[in-house]
Each structure stands twice: as structure tokens, then as C-alpha cells.
Structure 1
């Protein structure tokens, strides 16, 4: 039995005891890497081909994309997480964020085009505003499409002109 010397200086210094991140912190980091790997697995083919990955990781992700059985899929995802621990995830995350940013920007543009289309069909003044914003647009064609879209809506016909207005607006927004 060891006795503690009551005269000994027993000051606690937390800086000298720190052994690195806690077990919970390590688990969170590993799970974050696995989540990043899952994002790679879920990427569309076109984006997956463009992303820069180490060859071994690319092969593991490609294999995971082909697996359908749940337990095998789980094991493969864990393996991807293990591979991710050996590389710097920041460039991969940056590429994924860039893909998401492009998608978000495209979605915003599509929503704006939809709003323009709805305004153009609902309000005659909107055409003037749109043509001021996008002067290279063929005004005659757009007026014709708006008339046709209103007529289609009144007669419950398929929205052919409605869709065509959207295409014209989208082209004008891309050009301007």
C-alpha cells in the first residue's frame, strides 16, 4: 500500500495532462469523414468523374456505388471512411461545396425565371420591365407566346407556350 506524502506539492496542472482529443471527439471526426465519403457515393456520375480523388479512394467509392446489399454497403462505407482518414479531406470538401454552390445558383436562376414567367403572363407591365432588363430579347415573339399562354390557360390546353416562355426567359437571362 502506497501512502501519499502529505508534504508533497500536488498542484494540478491541466496542460501537462492533456493527451489529445477525447474519444468522443475522435468518433465525431471519423463520422464526419464517413459522411464526406457518403456524399462522394451519392454524387451524380458526371460530378464524380470530375472530382479529384486518390486512386484507391476512387475505386472504393466506385465499388460502393455498385453495392446494393445493406451490410456490404455499410462495410464499404466504413472502409471509405478509413481511407479518408489517411488523406486531407479539405480539397474534397471544397470540390463538393463548389458542386453544391453551382447547383444552388442554378436553382436560384430557375426560380427567378419562373417568377418572370408568372409575372409576364399575369401583368402586361411586366413585359416592359423585362424588356428593359433584357433588351436583346425578341419582344414580338415573347408577346405572341404570352398571348398564347393566356389562351391556353383559358381553354385548359396543354401549356406549350407556357413552357416556351420559360425557355425564352432562361435564354435571355443567360445571355444578359
Structure 2
């Protein structure tokens, strides 16, 4: 008796329709992601000039339906690439995402320290100095005092910003 569903026939048929659809949707999402990038972000993605120009054309379309159609066309162009090229694009996008997450986390740490210094005063400053012995205690104390005075008088936040810059230099040096 001949088995209609042997393994050699599966290999000849290739991926299932469901898998083909998932792959096509993945490429469409990739096309939409590329179209959403800024020019600086796009410059870091390994694309040939034609494809880069296609991304720019897609980005320029403002009508919802036309943009959807243009995204589909961009996805069609991406499907023509070999698997290694598509993976290189995905990798570049993931590296940018990870870098952005790290930068955002660092920014939050700085803002948290600044707010702690403004709210807790000398206690927070003592903790910061303990973690970073090379910090200029007097300069930081002066910036905190000036930032609080600016906030109280509704003045522009010069010392507030300067305190952030000092903290960034201090924490970057220790990293």
C-alpha cells in the first residue's frame, strides 16, 4: 500500500500556505518598519540604493490606502532579496533598537538621580558621592541649590540642565 503522505512529498511541496503567509506578513512588517525610520536610522541599515530610494518613496506617500499599497510594493521588493540580506536588515534594526533602549535607560537613571538630589538634598548627594568618590561635592551642592531656587522663582532651568550635564559626565566617566 502506498502512503500518500510520505516525507519526500512534503519536501517537494515546500512550505505550507500558512507558512508562506506568515513569511509574507513578516516581510510586510519589515517594510512598514523601514518606512517608519528617520533618515539617520535608515542610513545605518544595509540597503542598496534602489531599495533605499523605494523606502523614501514609501515614506513620502501620505494617503492611507496609497501608503498601504506602497508598503506592499516595498515588501515585494524586499522578498526579492536573498535570506542573508533580509537577516542583515533585521539585525541592523535590532541593534539600533537595543542601543536606543540602553540610551533611554541611561537617560532615566540620570533623571532619577537629578530628581533625588533635588528632593532628598544632602542624603542623596552623600549616596552619589559614596558611589562616585571623584565627584565635586561642592559644585553639585551649588547646582542643586540653584536648581531649587530657579524652580521656586519660576525662572528658566539653567542650573537644572547644568546639573543633568554634570551627572551625565560623572556617570559616563564611571561606566
TM-score normalised over the length of structure 2: 0.85
> How big is each residue's C-alpha offset from its partner over 1:11-63, in whole Å with a ceiling of 9 and x where there is no partner?
45441431221112101101101111111111111111222102221121011
> How big is each residue's C-alpha offset from its partner over 1:63-112, in whole Å with a ceiling of 9 and x where there is no partner?
11111122321221111111111223110000001111110000000110
Aligned mates of 1:175, 1:54 — CA distance in 2: 38
Q: Which of the pair is proportionally richer in helix?
A: 2
Aligned mates of 2:3, 2:91 — CA distance in 1: 46
Aligned mates of 1:58, 1:162 — CA distance in 2: 41
- Residue of structure 2 in register with 1:57 after alignment: 51
- Residue of structure 1 in register with 2:127 after alignment: 129
Aligned-residue RMSD, C-alpha: 1.9
- Residue of structure 2 in register with 1:27 after alignment: 21
- Residue of structure 2 in register with 1:5 after alignment: none
Q: Cα gap change, 1:107/1:133 in structure 2, threshold over 3 Å: closer, same or farther?
A: same
Corresponding residue to 2:36 among 32, 35, 42: 42
- Residue of structure 1 in register with 2:148 after alignment: 150
Equivalent residues, number? 167
Contiguous gaps of at least 5 residues in structure 1: 1-8
SS in 1 for 2:47: coil
Aligned mates of 1:156, 1:15 — CA distance in 2: 78
Q: Which shows bigger deviation, 83-92 or 103-112?
A: 83-92
Corresponding residue to 1:107 among 96, 104, 109: 104
Which of the pair has more CA radius of gyration? Answer: 1
- Residue of structure 1 in register with 2:166 after alignment: 168
Contiguous gaps of at least 5 residues in structure 2: none
Aligned mates of 1:11, 1:44 — CA distance in 2: 55
Corresponding residue to 2:66 among 72, 77, 99: 72
- Residue of structure 2 in register with 1:6 after alignment: none
Q: Which shows bigger deviation, 55-64 or 104-113?
A: 55-64
SS in 1 for 2:62: coil
Aligned mates of 1:113, 1:85 — CA distance in 2: 43
Aligned mates of 2:47, 2:3 — CA distance in 1: 50
- Residue of structure 2 in register with 1:4 after alignment: none
CA contact (8 A) 1:149 1:159 kept: no
